[in-house]
Amino acid sequence: MGPATSIGIVGGGQLAWMLAQAARRRGVELHVQTPGPQDPAVGLASSVVQAEVRDVAATRELASRCSAISFENEWVDLEGLKALAADGVPFVPDLEALRPLVCKRSQRELLNRFNLPSPAWFPLDRVMELPEVPAAGEDPAAASAPPATEAPPQLPQGFAYPLMAKAASGGYDGKGTAVLRSDADLEALLERVEASNWIVEEFVAFDLELAVVAARDQMGDVVCLPVVQTHQHQQVCDWVLAPYEANHALQQAVRNMAASLLTALNYVGVLSIELFYGPRGLMINELAPRTHNSGHYSIEACDLSQFDLQLLAVSGQQLREPALQAPGALMVNLLGFEQRSAEDPLAAYELQRQALAALPDAHLHWYGKAGASVGRKLGHVTLLLQQQDPAARRQEAMQRLEQVRQIWPLPPGSDAGQSS
Ligand code: ADP
């Protein structure tokens, strides 16, 4: 396939918006499918199919305008889209490559299959499986045991509290996760959720979280952005420091994981990997088959951003390794910190935006979302760092984070002092 110059994106949020900005710079047409007329990407798209992202007929319409289709996120109707693929609609990545990535349970199965390090886990409904009953006559107590249907939930062998429960699909930014500290927590969770859609993981005592954005082209070449450190606050990404001053072996280990995953899946496009790093080495927490919050810094800090990589890969072009064009960068997410109604003239946080944009070497990205509830990702700011020495650069980053915090506090209920 020759280079596609018109790309369709299912989704119209901030990731599609930043992709549309990169598309403009590169002279690529970008069409989007998104439900809201005010959605971030609408104003920049070459055309819009206004429909829910799971509306397959709308995706067919989108495909009629484009030479390749990709996705803003993994909440797609793979079964429904099969018919389009059968009719020759070129999805990049391919639907089969996406299949194991669209839910956390199939991701865990995939990682186990590939022997890639990841937290031990079990499907939540396993706790309701009947415990093994000793054969009659072996255990006199068995006769008086309560009927199996009333048996309390039991953790599988080898697991102990605390545990991390997660919705297999539909969760993001910590929505759809629950820490379990006791049987009571487990029972409360079972009351509240559909057990067949949840998994439970060991709680990992990591030192810090890392992430990498990788991409593979149609020729099979894999490239990676630098490994970064991500910092979450109440399970939502708060800031990202690039690059993480990893030693060569760690960088290589991360790249090898990315390359083996992308190659084994025959995946074309950008894929992001979130990792835990600590006493047990590296563990993969999550895969995102798309551009990712942890790669936003690349817009200013690299000579090819994650959005450039996505456009190049989806349009069938060859990728080259992106390089940093500054010693480093700090990206800070701007989460709504006050309840503001859409009609409120202050809803757009105008003063804070001006103050952030005026910081030296700062690049503000405001997503223009309608509605600004507390905790919602409304934008981000990337600050380019000057220090060459990793320790000095980290110190510089923490000072710059402090400057941002003076203007833009964390949402309430937060422990603002936690910034390591
Ligand atoms: P989401 O898809 O909602 O972002 P994640 O699985 O990425 O959910 O989890 C959000 C955050 O919760 C992670 O970045 C990490 O800080 C924490 N977390 C997730 N899984 C575990 C785990 N097994 N052990 C300890 N902390 C975890």
Query: 235: CA distance to ligand 1 center in Å?
Result: 6
pTM here is 0.92
DSSP 217: -
The pLDDT of residue 224: 98
Fold of 120-129+150-202: Dna Ligase; domain 1 (3.30.1490)
What is the share, in percent, of the chain residues with pLDDT greater than 90?
82
- CA of 235, closest atom in ligand 1: 11
What is residue 228's three-state secondary structure?
A: strand
Q: Looking at residues 318-340, what average pLDDT do you find?
A: 95
CA dihedral of residues 188, 191, 195, 200 (deg, nearest 10)? 0
2 falls in which pLDDT band (50, 70, 90)?
very low
Dump pLDDT digits (tens) for 255-297. Answer: 999 999 999 999 999 999 999 999 999 999 999 999 999 999 9
The pLDDT of residue 227: 97
Please work out whether the CB of residue 203 comes within 6 Å of at least one atom of ligand 1.
yes
345 falls in which pLDDT band (50, 70, 90)?
low
Please give the backbone phi and psi of residue 256, each rounded to the nearest 5 degrees, phi first: -65, -40
Residue nearest atom 2 in ligand 1 by C-alpha distance: 172
Cα(78)–Cα(5) distance, integer angstroms: 25
In CATH, the number for domain 6-91 is 3.40.50.20
Of residues 119 and 344, which shows the higher confidence score? 119
Domain 6-91 and domain 120-129+150-202, same fold? Reply is no
Please work out whether the CB of residue 237 comes within 6 Å of at least one atom of ligand 1.
no
Please work out whether the CB of residue 238 comes within 6 Å of at least one atom of ligand 1.
no
- Beta strands across the sheet bearing 177-180: 121-123, 198-202, 163-167, 177-180
Cα(235)–Cα(174) distance, integer angstroms: 5
Query: 165: CA distance to ligand 1 center in Å?
Result: 9
Please work out whether the CB of residue 190 comes within 6 Å of at least one atom of ligand 1.
no
The pLDDT of residue 418: 37
Please work out whether the CB of residue 174 comes within 6 Å of at least one atom of ligand 1.
yes
Of residues 346 and 11, which shows the higher confidence score? 11
Of residues 165 and 412, which shows the higher confidence score? 165
CA dihedral of residues 249, 250, 254, 256 (deg, nearest 10)? 10
The tokens describing 386, both together, are 């000057």
Q: Which of 39-53, 149-163, 242-256, 322-336 has the lowest mean pLDDT?
A: 149-163
Residue with tokens 């700090």: 330
Cα(290)–Cα(272) distance, integer angstroms: 6
Query: 104: CA distance to ligand 1 center in Å?
Result: 11
Dump pLDDT digits (tens) for 87-110. Answer: 999 999 999 999 999 999 999 999
Cα(7)–Cα(89) distance, integer angstroms: 12
Cα(47)–Cα(32) distance, integer angstroms: 7
Query: 395: CA distance to ligand 1 center in Å?
Result: 26
Query: 285: CA distance to ligand 1 center in Å?
Result: 7
Spell out the domain ranges in the chain: 6-91, 120-129+150-202, 208-407
Evaluate the CA torsion angle 131, 136, 142, 145 in order and state its sign.
positive
Query: 70: CA distance to ligand 1 center in Å?
Result: 26
- CA of 202, closest atom in ligand 1: 23
Cis peptide before 289 (omega within 30 of 0): no
Q: Looking at residues 112-124, what average pLDDT do you find?
A: 97
Please work out whether the CB of residue 72 comes within 6 Å of at least one atom of ligand 1.
no
The pLDDT of residue 372: 76
pLDDT of 137 higher than 60? no
Residue 284 CB contacts under 8 Å (≥ 6 apart), including other chains: 111, 116, 117, 118, 257, 273, 274, 275
Please work out whether the CB of residue 46 comes within 6 Å of at least one atom of ligand 1.
no
- CA of 204, closest atom in ligand 1: 24
The tokens describing 389, both together, are 């020495």
Q: Are 7 and 29 in contact (CB under 8 A)?
A: yes
The pLDDT of residue 71: 98
The tokens describing 39, both together, are 């959605």
The pLDDT of residue 348: 83
The pLDDT of residue 139: 57
What is the share, in percent, of the chain residues with pLDDT greater than 70?
90
Please work out whether the CB of residue 74 comes within 6 Å of at least one atom of ligand 1.
no
The pLDDT of residue 252: 95
Per-residue burial over 10-32, b = 16 or more CB atoms within 10 Å of its CB, e = otherwise = bbbbbbbbbbbbbbeeeebbbbb
Work out the mean pLDDT of the chain and round it to a whole number. 92
Q: Looking at residues 6-20, what average pLDDT do you find?
A: 98
Q: Which of 116-125, 191-200, 246-255, 335-344 has the lowest mean pLDDT?
A: 335-344
Whether CATH 3.30.470.20 fits 208-407:
yes
Please work out whether the CB of residue 119 comes within 6 Å of at least one atom of ligand 1.
yes
339 falls in which pLDDT band (50, 70, 90)?
confident
Please work out whether the CB of residue 260 comes within 6 Å of at least one atom of ligand 1.
no
The string of DSSP codes covering 65-120 is T-SEEEESSS---HHHHHHHHHTT--BSS-HHHHGGGSSHHHHHHHHHHTT-----
Q: Looking at residues 161-189, what average pLDDT do you find?
A: 91
Query: 340: CA distance to ligand 1 center in Å?
Result: 28
